[in-house]
Amino acid sequence: MGRKRLLTAGTVAALAATVLLFGGTLRDEGGARALPVVADSASLTSLGLAYQQRARETADASYLTRSEEALTRAQRLGPPDATIVGGLASLELARHDFARALVLARQARALAPDAARPFALLGDALVELGRYREAFAAFDELAARKPGLTAYSRIAYARELLGDRAGAREAMTLALDSASGRGEPTAWTRIELGRLAFGEGRLALARRHFRAALAAFPGYPYAFEALARVAAAEGDLRLAAALARRAAEAVPLPLFVGTLGDVERARGHLAAANGQYALVGAIGRLLRANGVRTDLELALFDLDHGRRLRAALAQAVRAHRARPSVQSEDVLAWALYRNGRCTEALAHSRRALRLGTRDATFAFHRGMIERCLGRGSAAKRWLRSALELNPHFSLVWAPVARRYVA
């Protein structure tokens, strides 16, 4: 393909937030919860990082607590070390304490000024804090220092949020090449490529990527959940339920459990759906018990499902203050709309869309806000835009959009 310029910082004044990557757990694998007896800093550092990997693999947020314990002990046993501090920054990113993650990422960069990884941590924190120009500068530096999966996937995300879907696909394809056939990294990049295709309503292409993810990493629960959404979009709700159940039973992520609930609701199985929705709340409590901040994600879930709307608005306000990103602007706009405060909602929706992000959910939210304000033409324009971007953007809300543009 040749050498391509992937840097993006100079092209944008702002960029949006990342998404929740993993959630909590409802299971205890048994055995002692205490840290193994490890005496030296290097071994504790390796252990702490391994616990974070286990958290990603199992969605057991208690591994984050154990990671913190190991890395904190490692800090006490040795001199300041960029790997330890970077591990703590990564931990805070997982917990969604982005302000703390930024402090630690800067410390890691100061300790290892020639290293590439601190720039990934810096960019991840900055993009969630709404400091987009700085975030892109960090991603640019990462790409310049160490092109590869870590850099290309961040470039892809940035381009997607800027509305450059073709550029996002190009960068994520480079990320796939950089995965070099390794099982889980290959599966993850396939999921991301499939997600991009699904976001454009390209179901057949999305399915191919999701199946390729399963081939690369058999049993990958993210692939089962993604295939469930494709099946639901095609109207095969029985298959969708079976696939979503496999994902939720393997790893009890809020995303997986919520998808299963939505499929059951679409099938008319309201009791089963409500059971899954209640489970999302239980998972959220376990997340909070392990230090993970879940206000934004759980607020959006409750708003979408008509649950605790006033409390969800309060959560959205807290999340927006802590992580003032495009994503939090959109969730706050939706929360204000769902609580009847449509004039305020419009201001936040405008800010959510200021980057040119081509996201069907953002467009749908804007359309509903315009409709609430009595602006029928604008409402239909935004709702049509949502359906044109992705006619299957939501099992819950895509039918509403279709009804209002008919």
* Phi, psi dihedral angles at 391 (to 5 degrees): -65, -10
Q: Kindly tell me if the per-residue pLDDT of 25 is higher than 60.
A: no
Tell whether the torsion through CA atoms of 63, 65, 70 and 71 is positive or negative: positive
201 assigned to some structural domain = no
272 assigned to some structural domain = no
Q: Tokens for 350? A: 């405008």
245 assigned to some structural domain = no
| Residue 258 one-letter amino acid | G
24 assigned to some structural domain = yes
Helices (H) and strands (E) in the chain, counts: 21, 0
90 assigned to some structural domain = yes
**Confidence category of residue 276, pLDDT binned at 50, 70, 90:** very high
Mean pLDDT of 7-29: 31
Q: Kindly tell me if the per-residue pLDDT of 14 is higher than 60.
A: no
364 assigned to some structural domain = no
Scan for tokens 């890395």, then name that residue: 71
178 assigned to some structural domain = no
pLDDT of residue 291: 85
What is the domain count for the chain? 1
Q: Rounded CA gap, 7 and 334, in Å?
A: 33
**Cβ-contact 142, 119 below 8 angstroms:** yes
22 assigned to some structural domain = yes
The boundaries of the domain holding residue 83 are 18-129
**Element spanning 127, H or E:** helix 117-128
pLDDT digits (tens, 9 = 90+) for 222-235: 999 999 999 999 99
Q: What is the largest CA-CA distance in the chain?
A: 68
What is the distance in angstroms between the CA of the first residue and the CA of the last residue of the chain? Answer: 45
Domain CATH for 69: 1.25.40.10
Rg (C-alpha) for the chain, rounded Å, is: 21
